[in-house]
Every structure is written in structure tokens, then in C-alpha cells.
Amino acid sequence: MATTYAALLRGINVGGRRKVPMAELRTLMEGLGHGAVRTHLQSGQAVFTTGSGAPGGGRTDEDALAAELAAALERHFGFAVGVIVRDHAYLRAIVDDCPFPAAGSEPRQLHVTYFSTAVDAGRFTDVDRAAHLPEEFRLGDRALYLYAPEGLGRSRLAERLAGPRVTRGVVATTRNWNTVVELVELTRD
């Protein structure tokens, strides 16, 4: 049975740099043997199927799929792109486990940073949470939830959380709540 995944690409098509046209991304992924490839927005989300019964079937390890796509992107475009691959169940759990009242928030206020691997809470010990109120963050399963009432662009906490102490050794990429919810719908089998 084929499994549907989302690939989250970090830091592409921002400010006219590191351009990855979505049509080329789809073609590249199809060339890797993935089926039903679709892209969402220009900021680096792709949904695809793979596994038993899908074109190029058999590959279902998220880390291996991410590494394969990252290597293909670097070969094709000439620059490294961090990639995280997650299945529908994980993406659904991220929405279900949100510690903030998502229904009452505007999409610009709530964000999820996805990590390629689990991050230790110790990475955040020097973040003065009280100094950043009313902004808040909570850790989840290979994810960080950020509530930023004034939006990500004005968030001092978001800037702090994107620093090297937090992101060292992991791929980390952030999506707004609309995209988080949309990825659940797009990966529904």
C-alpha cells in the first residue's frame, strides 16, 4: 500500500534566493520514483506517495526519503536544501496536540517549527520566557509550537528560537498554522 508524505523544504524561494521552481521540484520528485506529486505554495511543501504499490515503491523511511530528496535537490540546483519528510499520522498528531487555542488564533499568530529529529529541552534553558510574553512556545514531538500575537515577522522570540543553539545539528523549518492544517488535508489517504 502506498503511503502519502509531505516534504518540507527549508529556506527556498525567500527573497529571490535559493530558487526552486515548483514545477521542477515535481519533476525531480517524479524522477525519484514518487507518485501523485503535488506542491503547495511556493515556500517548499510537496506531497507525494511512495511505498508498496506506488511508483518506485518500497521506500518508506522518512529520514531516508528526506536524505534522498536533499541529495537530488543539491545535484539539480547546486545548493544544499534541508528537507524533512513526515506522514499523515504525524502531521495530524501535530494539529491534535497543539497546546494553544488554534481555533481562536489568527493563522499569522500560530506557527510550528518542524525538526528533523527530537530536540532536547536543554536547548531552550537560556530562553527567558517571561521576557518574551505574551509570546510563548511549547515543545512537541519533533516540533515546536510558537504563539506570536504580532506575527512571526515581529517576533523577538521567533528570532531567538531560530538561533544556532536551538537549531545546531538539525534541520528546522517553520510553517504558519494555515499551512500546518493544509498539510494534514493534503496527505490524507
pLDDT in tens, 90-117: 999 999 999 998 877 887 899 999 999 9
* C-alpha gyration radius of the chain: 17
Q: pLDDT-based confidence at 52, cuts 50/70/90?
A: low
Class of domain 95-176: alpha beta
* Distance of alpha carbon 136 from alpha carbon 81, whole angstroms: 28
141 or 165, greater pLDDT: 141
| Percent share of the chain, pLDDT over 70 | 95
Mean pLDDT score across all residues of the chain: 90
In CATH, the architecture of 2-88 is 2-Layer Sandwich (3.30)
* pLDDT(60) > 80: no
Provide the pLDDT for residue 104. 77
Provide the pLDDT for residue 170. 95
Provide the pLDDT for residue 143. 97
H helices of 13-153, where?
Answer: 22-31, 62-77, 88-96
Q: 2-88 with 95-176: one CATH topology?
A: yes
Distant-in-sequence, close-in-space partners of 43: CB < 8 Å, separation ≥ 6: 12, 13, 14, 179
* pLDDT(149) > 70: yes
Residue length, the chain?
Answer: 189
- Report pTM: 0.91
Is residue 71 classed as helix, strand or coil in its secondary structure? helix
8 Å CB contact between 147 and 105: yes
1 or 179, greater pLDDT: 179
Rounded to an integer, the average pLDDT of 38-53 is: 83
* pLDDT(58) > 80: no
Q: Report domain extents, the chain.
A: 2-88, 95-176
Provide the pLDDT for residue 59. 57
Provide the pLDDT for residue 147. 96
Please report how many Cα atoms fall inside a 13 Å half-sphere around the Cα of residue 15, on the Cβ side. 1
